[in-house]
């Protein structure tokens, strides 16, 4: 037996030189993924004249804070939108995790009588959508969500795809023996779900939570559909940044009709990159927290399994 094990290790062991080559390859690929982000950051701190002269460059001919100073003048507008996006993202992610995990757990139980019906009920919309007009009529006219924060949260709160993922994870990862043992001990379904199923399922919950966070933070279409133009206090950050960019594009395209100095005072190229930095940095900083819970969930699942 030991000879067989040694022979297997002989052919599966990676040689030190090969290990170094593989490590160098992955470091190179990681740098390739990092270079565009570094370029965006450098351009956001470049002077507008440098961008117009040599284009986007890792080594600009001049540095400037004009782009961030321009955005700082919009502090009241952008700051309120930033807080809106944070609140919408937090509330939407929590509600999304509650609805997705509970639905997935119910559909994963073999003794649930309506399991087949609700599985098809959430699966069909993945193939055939009801359409934008129908969803708008339901959300705006029937549910009366127009010009409210709920219009930015509820329409994308629960996804059929995420429900299917959670259902599959519960079926393949959570042992039925644990649930049956808890039932014998007198535990109810809510207690089983909260104290047994969720700790084992933290990897799936963290993954879905990360997807929901990205979706809410980057969403601006819901604001375009359901928020009127005069309700500035409801706008999320992405919608405000897009509106600012459209205004800059309008000034740039019609600079011949503008007053002298109006367009030149706006750092049109660098401010776009500054907008990207502002919108990406908060969500990038939140990723390590999801990764932490993801690794913790893997550990808990391994111990309890």
What's the whole-number mean pLDDT along residues 155-167? Answer: 88
CA distance 143 to 128: 22
The mean predicted confidence, pLDDT, of the chain is 80
pTM of the model: 0.77
- Indicate whether 166 pLDDT > 60: yes
pLDDT tens figures, 96-154:
999 999 999 988 888 888 888 888 888 888 887 777 888 888 888 898 899 899 999 99
What's the whole-number mean pLDDT along residues 64-85? Answer: 82
The CATH architecture to which 71-304 belongs is: Orthogonal Bundle (1.10)
pLDDT tens figures, 279-290:
887 777 777 766
Angle, vertex CA 31, rays to CA 296 and CA 35, nearest 5: 115
Distances from the Cα of 204 to the Cα of 65, 67, 88, angstroms:
42, 40, 22
Burial class (CB in 10 A: 0-12, 13-18, 19+), 124: exposed
CA distance 208 to 101: 9
Q: Which of 1-10, 158-167, 214-223, 268-277 has the lowest mean pLDDT?
A: 1-10
- Indicate whether 300 pLDDT > 50: no
Q: Which of 27-41, 114-128, 195-209, 248-262 has the lowest mean pLDDT?
A: 248-262
pLDDT tens figures, 180-196:
888 888 888 888 888 88
- Indicate whether 302 pLDDT > 50: no
CA distance 295 to 203: 7
Q: Are 266 and 70 in contact (CB under 8 A)?
A: yes
């Amino acid at each position: 037996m030991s000879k067989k094990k040694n022979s297997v290790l002989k052919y599966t062991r990676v040689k030190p030189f090969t290990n170094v080559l593989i490590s160098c390859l992955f470091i190179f690929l990681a740098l390739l993924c990092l270079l565009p982000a570094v370029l965006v950051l450098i351009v956001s701190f470049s002077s507008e004249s440098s961008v117009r002269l040599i284009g986007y460059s890792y080594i600009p001919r001049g540095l400037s804070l004009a782009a961030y100073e321009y955005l700082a003048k919009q502090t009241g507008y952008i700051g309120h939108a930033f807080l809106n996006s944070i609140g919408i993202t937090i509330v939407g992610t929590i509600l999304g995790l509650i609805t997705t995990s509970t639905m997935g757990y119910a559909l994963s139980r073999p003794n649930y009588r309506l399991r087949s019906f609700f599985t098809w009920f959430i699966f069909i919309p993945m193939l055939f959508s009801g359409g934008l007009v129908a969803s708008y009529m339901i959300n705006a006219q029937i549910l009366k969500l127009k010009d409210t924060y709920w219009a930015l949260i509820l329409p994308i709160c629960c996804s059929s795809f995420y429900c299917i993922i959670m259902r599959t994870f519960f079926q393949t990862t959570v042992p039925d023996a644990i649930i049956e043992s808890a039932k014998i001990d007198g535990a109810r379904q809510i207690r089983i779900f909260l104290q047994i199923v969720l700790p084992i399922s933290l990897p799936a919950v963290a993954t879905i939570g990360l997807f929901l966070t990205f979706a809410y933070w980057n969403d601006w279409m819901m604001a375009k559909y359901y928020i009127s133009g005069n309700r500035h206090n409801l706008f999320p950050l992405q919608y405000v940044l897009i509106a600012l960019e459209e205004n800059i594009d309008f000034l740039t395209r019609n600079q011949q009709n503008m007053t002298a100095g109006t367009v030149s005072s706006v750092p049109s190229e660098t401010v776009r990159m500054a907008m990207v930095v502002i919108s990406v940095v908060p969500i990038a900083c939140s990723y390590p927290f999801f990764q932490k819970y993801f690794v913790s969930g893997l550990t808990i699942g391994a111990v309890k399994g």
